[in-house]
Structure 1
């Protein structure tokens, strides 16, 4: 995996590794002519000598230099000369038209608001089913499912490794019966579902397909997204079972299966969120996430998939942090880089293959345990940045998530935050309202340039899979996280309520507690399921999974058969560990 080099630019084979499109040459149709730029520069010089110099003499700058959270320098003022080489039609253009800087759809929120998808999942499947129904009744427009740590790591509820973690940070899932309870009374043909699960994503996808078929919903009608982004697991989140190469192969199995069987389903959500939460800057999040996407596309075309047969179902997932304008620019730069990469590097022809469609979530790592009600304000600003950046789907974090999974009251406030932005802020009334801002266009250009520098480094290493195996993005993120923490501790970076504007004795807030009876209930149901199922059928289907894993066949069909036989998540995971081995990360400093 990842070692073959394509020989030409045929869309069937992909571009040779290392041929990421450069930032485009500047055309003769720049937004401003030379005479206009000269006049602006002369005016800027006069302003700097006169008004600015006088003001600085009376009131010096608060800092010697201003920059974004990614380290992009910010001039005193931006003007047409700041984007002098900008070509409007080439670099900005129109919503719904290449390179999609202004948005993937011509009407954006005038035609359809973003999907409001609040993350839910805790306790037993019955508990989460009730939370799903509560949120749907309060205006949520898409389901989003969190799974507990045992499910994420490939262990059943009764495994010793699961002790103390069952149902704690997401819903506990061990068998198809759990999925049947989880989605009881929810018509899967009428809603879209997002599932945040990676190492065991193929098993969760199989269970979703099986429970939908029990409801009478065909695969082709299912809409939603499963995260399944294994590259970012090795980079940032560290929830894995098997080594990177076979894990990426399984992601490509899911892409191939869904392209044929589930045309409305996104088989991978290429996730910058966890990269950012691990300490990456916005530029690093942008670069490493797009490099992950490039790797998946490259792997798929190298195994013979035509890029236009699957690219339109790839989706992305971004973090939205505190630097408001940088976050807006990140969304715009991401769409532009991806569209150009798909067109120029992979030869994609269909418009849908060029679109970067995205879900976003406000930054969990920015929430503070101190003065937790400040988190409502942080989340509001971050959500507004995602909307002005043009997201298609959004989750807003709850104020209490530094302590525990959110209470109903807290998650309702988080949902209301989205609804207030959607229906009262006016953000839905105009497409790309910050397009043309000198500052936003400057940041968009700078983020594109800096992200492409990273992507070229990764290409030179042989692609993202190889870069991950060598630890390159991991080291870059660790260094950024260290700098950020050092700035907070030194007071160079202000965090309200933490190292500035502190209060003594914050009032406690209500938090959600998961009772230990959840684990007992889950284990009892698992044991009851095992007594009812056919042991022979389970053994037969698990043997089918093992054969496919050893032969390099597509793993999705045999896993569907295994979950239908009520083979457990842990049993299927054990087969994969048996075939591919258990991954252990080298220590890196």
Structure 2
């Protein structure tokens, strides 16, 4: 009988038995960090347990944040609605039907004040999933921290700010790539001097994977994008040993347990070598620090309680892979935004892994496994082939502009779907072990009235603020964008006059154009 061929999602063939692997001389906390970025990993400090949340108005999201903090979450992670992500105020025609739906609506500093009411920014870390308008939301956060009396040199958190994957996979871009890269490097430069503890970019493979890539493609395209940001900052004259310490990564964790663990281990090793080649000598500038979110696209609307098991499996893989922070999805997210009950069980999943599983007792517990070490090497080799190809095209920006990365993702996504439909890839409850009744009734609904509420807030804001100060700040921003000065202080000044997100984005649209 012929041996059955089994392979990972990336097409790496899995052997029936592994009897050897290359000798492991590496130690955690040392270059190239395959085994983790800290010597003691979770024995010294657990990963940050974040729960991604944001919906409706700032008032509603604020209640959810207080709930999560009371349940033991260690950092906040803000989801913004679509108009906020693409630079439109809630009363703009383009915002119709989308206000408060996939995240919270933030139109001005006033909304930011409400969002974090009763929460001291100096005492928490906040991650914000925001890209095209990242500079504006960061400016609002800094302005609020100043109003709270915090030392902005001490506040910490992350903005996603990864525009390249927006062009490649997700779509919430505003300006052309070169203008976007300028804004991003302005943020790097400003924060390295003024807000040194802030992670100025979270280079994101998550959405590349959600768009249908394989694990190897997620790794390769994310690191290639990271390389493009390093080169852009170097061209601006920034010191890699300073700014590379503030880069973080954001990965997806899918269902294939061992492939995901090997992907994370390979990622650290590859990034250490990339940064070293580009001149980084400080170990902290060579370390790949990353946040993980369990795979949204793996959640099924059929038999949604099965998602509790999927999320647990993925969360355990992220921990065994050495993540620095983790978000676990709600079991009902294929149907709606997570209910409070789903958000709580997602957080409890992390707490059970941390305190009951024993996975945190020793560093890199799967190191030396013949299978895991071989798979780590194979994933690295396969990802390197992609990176070499992208380098030959002149880097990620060119590879995206000529459609290469998008096409590779689309082909992988199509292949996956064919396998599901033909039944060669089993999805429990979807193409095997199906049932009539799905057994979940409570889902979260966001009312259309949110837009009316936000529009009323905007009307009052425009009546109450000093319009002359707003106009002057926006004019200074326009002049700055036409020249070469760093835009961050100008955006911060505009935010502090209560200029709205849409007004600031429009000022930049008028100079840079739209993509």
The alignment's C-alpha RMSD in Å is 0.9
Superposed CA offset, 1:62-102 (max 9, x none): xx30111110011111111xx2xx2422xxx1110111000
Specify which of 392, 412, 423 is matched with residue 355 of structure 2.
423
**SS of corresponding position for 2:6:** coil
Equivalent in the alignment of 1:247:
180
Equivalent in the alignment of 1:288:
221
Equivalent in the alignment of 2:191:
258
Equivalent in the alignment of 1:483:
415
Equivalent in the alignment of 2:24:
88
Superposed CA offset, 1:217-262 (max 9, x none): 1210110000000000001001111111111111111111111111
TM-score, structure 2 as length reference? 0.99
Equivalent in the alignment of 1:328:
261
1:130 equivalent in alignment to 2:63: yes
Equivalent in the alignment of 1:397:
329
Which consecutive residues of structure 2, in runs of 5 or more, have no partner in the other structure?
Answer: none
**SS of corresponding position for 1:347:** coil
Specify which of 66, 69, 74 is matched with residue 9 of structure 2.
69
Alignment map for 1:146-185 (pairs within 5 Å):
146-185=79-118
Specify which of 357, 381, 384 is matched with residue 452 of structure 1.
384
How far residue 309 of structure 1 moved from its aligned partner, in angstroms, is: 1.5
Q: Distance in 2 between matches of 1:459 and 1:358?
A: 23
1:222 equivalent in alignment to 2:158: no
Equivalent in the alignment of 2:164:
231
1:353 equivalent in alignment to 2:289: no
Equivalent in the alignment of 1:464:
396
Query: Residues 58 and 114 of structure 2 are in contact (CA less than 8 Å); yes or no, is this contact kept in structure 1?
Result: yes
Superposed CA offset, 1:450-475 (max 9, x none): 11111111111111111111111100
**SS of corresponding position for 1:468:** helix
**SS of corresponding position for 1:572:** helix
Q: Distance in 1 between matches of 2:62 and 2:443?
A: 20
Equivalent in the alignment of 1:270:
203
Equivalent in the alignment of 2:232:
299
Specify which of 188, 191, 200 is matched with residue 133 of structure 2.
200
**SS of corresponding position for 1:519:** helix
**SS of corresponding position for 1:118:** strand
**SS of corresponding position for 2:444:** coil
Equivalent in the alignment of 1:493:
425
Q: Distance in 1 between matches of 2:181 and 2:333?
A: 31
Superposed CA offset, 1:288-331 (max 9, x none): 00001000000100111111121101000000000100000010
How far residue 507 of structure 1 moved from its aligned partner, in angstroms, is: 2.3
Superposed CA offset, 1:513-565 (max 9, x none): 11222221111111101111111111111111111211122111100000001
How far residue 177 of structure 1 moved from its aligned partner, in angstroms, is: 0.1
Equivalent in the alignment of 1:408:
340
Alignment map for 1:307-318 (pairs within 5 Å):
307-318=240-251
Which consecutive residues of structure 1, in runs of 5 or more, have no partner in the other structure?
Answer: 1-56, 584-589
Q: Distance in 2 between matches of 1:74 and 1:506?
A: 34
Equivalent in the alignment of 1:103:
36
Equivalent in the alignment of 2:272:
339
Superposed CA offset, 1:257-288 (max 9, x none): 11111111001000000000000000000000
**Residues paired across the two proteins, number:** 515
1:577 equivalent in alignment to 2:509: yes
Superposed CA offset, 1:400-438 (max 9, x none): 111111110010000000001001000110100001111
Superposed CA offset, 1:32-81 (max 9, x none): xxxxxxxxxxxxxxxxxxxxxxxxx6xx75xx30111110011111111x
Equivalent in the alignment of 1:36:
none
Q: Distance in 2 between matches of 1:573 and 1:264?
A: 26
Alignment map for 1:512-523 (pairs within 5 Å):
512-523=444-455
How far residue 347 of structure 1 moved from its aligned partner, in angstroms, is: 1.4
Equivalent in the alignment of 1:13:
none
**SS of corresponding position for 1:435:** coil
Equivalent in the alignment of 1:508:
440
TM-score, structure 1 as length reference? 0.87
Q: Distance in 2 between matches of 1:213 and 1:515?
A: 33
**SS of corresponding position for 1:383:** helix
Q: Distance in 1 between matches of 2:45 and 2:11?
A: 35
Q: Distance in 2 between matches of 1:186 and 1:571?
A: 27
Query: Residues 304 and 440 of structure 2 are in contact (CA less than 8 Å); yes or no, is this contact kept in structure 1?
Result: no
Superposed CA offset, 1:330-365 (max 9, x none): 10000000001111x211111100100000000000
Equivalent in the alignment of 1:118:
51
Stretches of 4+ moved more than 4 A in 1? Answer: none
Alignment map for 1:355-370 (pairs within 5 Å):
355-370=287-302
Specify which of 427, 431, 439 is matched with residue 371 of structure 2.
439
Q: Distance in 2 between matches of 1:149 and 1:475?
A: 25
